[in-house]
Amino acid sequence: MSALAYSQLPNHLQPLLAKFYRAHNSRNRIRTEAVCWVAKRGDIVGGLCLTPVEEGQFLTGLLVTPTERNRGIGAQLVRNAVASSAGPVWLFCKPELVDFYSRLGFSVANRLPAALADRLTRYRRSKTLVALQNDRRMMSVPNATLKIAIACLLDECGRILVVRKRGTRFFMLPGGKAEIGETPLQTLRRELQEELDLPLEDNDFDPLGHFQAPAANEPDHQVEADVFIARLPRAVTVHAELEEMGWLEAAPCERDDIAPLLRSHVMPALLARMAQAESVACCAEPSDQGEIGSLAGKVSSIASSS
């Protein structure tokens, strides 16, 4: 077997990669301005394209011939492409590939260039895709801050829904990173719709607080979170980049697979709010019991039924 070699394909040889795509029934089209990377073992056995977009590059067309798969060729092509880019690299992938790309330094994109955002909207009309980003500039900045919005979703027993992303070990509250121009509630509602197929309205949420902690899945990053509470109106299942869901009792938590933000900040604040709600309910006049419609009242009624 001849040696494997990786290289950037000169523009005048890009038709060879186009031929490789056609031979494997790929619809990927190579744009004139694209930079192509290939793996060769005599002939091309794998390739991908980087197309310039605003502020960075868009990665498409990662393909390895079936007889060469599971040998790390695709991963090395991605590493080479990312290393050659001076700015962020974005891509769209199916949810089941998020784990693969996360091991190569990609994470869920918290923003997209306008052209890619429009394209993703069109693609999502017919398929489920996740937008990922690899920005080596951010990775090199210690303690970069990620702005997120998350929710304590409580079921009828007062349990808290937690979720785990594909390829990670920490359970956390559902929600996610803010996109440019979004309010915290807009971010949260979008994420819950995408991850749990759970449509909620702004008035379904009550604010718990604003907290900061080390990020669970991004080394050298902090998360700055707007946290809300809501009732979980029905059973849900996980979608998109989520792999697993579970439940936490409303009690101090020492599990080492719980995200630091939830374990050290959100849970204590939630328990304090519940205690406050119970105190308010106990002191209220009988005629006022049904009027305690604030967040504290909602949480108290859930917790007291458990």
Predicted pLDDT at 94: 92
Predicted pLDDT at 1: 60
Judgement on whether residues 158 and 179 belong to the same structural domain of the protein: yes
What's phi and psi for 271, nearest 5 deg?
-65, -40
Give 284's pLDDT tier (boundaries 50, 70, 90).
low
pLDDT digits (tens, 9 = 90+) for 93-105: 999 999 889 888 8
Largest CA distance in the chain: 85
Q: What is the mean pLDDT of residues 36-43?
A: 94
- The first and second tokens of residue 131, run together, are 């937008």
Judgement on whether residues 186 and 212 belong to the same structural domain of the protein: yes
Q: What is the mean pLDDT of residues 71-89?
A: 90
Residue 236 gets which letter from DSSP? -
Task: Return the percentage of the chain with pLDDT > 90, whole number.
Answer: 64
Where is the domain boundary, 139, 165, 193?
139
Give 122's pLDDT tier (boundaries 50, 70, 90).
very high
Q: What is the mean pLDDT of residues 54-68?
A: 94
CATH code at position 232:
3.90.79.10
Q: Which residue has the tokens 């998360």?
A: 223
Q: Domain tally for the chain? A: 2
Which is more confident, 63 or 182?
Answer: 63
Residue 138 reports pLDDT greater than 70: no
Judgement on whether residues 166 and 192 belong to the same structural domain of the protein: yes
Give 53's pLDDT tier (boundaries 50, 70, 90).
very high
Range of the domain at 186: 144-279
Predicted pLDDT at 280: 67
Which alpha helices (DSSP H) does the chain contain, by range? 14-23, 73-84, 98-102, 114-123, 136-139, 184-196, 260-261, 267-283, 295-304
pLDDT digits (tens, 9 = 90+) for 145-166: 889 999 999 999 999 999 998 8
Mean per-residue pLDDT over the chain, rounded? 87
Q: What is the mean pLDDT of residues 204-221?
A: 89
- Confirm whether pTM is higher than 0.85: no
Judgement on whether residues 120 and 207 belong to the same structural domain of the protein: no
Decide: 36 and 29 in contact? Cβ < 8 Å.
no
Dist CA 99 CA 124 (whole Å): 20
Looking at the domain assignment, is residue 290 inside a domain? no
Looking at the domain assignment, is residue 204 inside a domain? yes
Q: What is the mean pLDDT of residues 247-273?
A: 92
Looking at the domain assignment, is residue 296 inside a domain? no
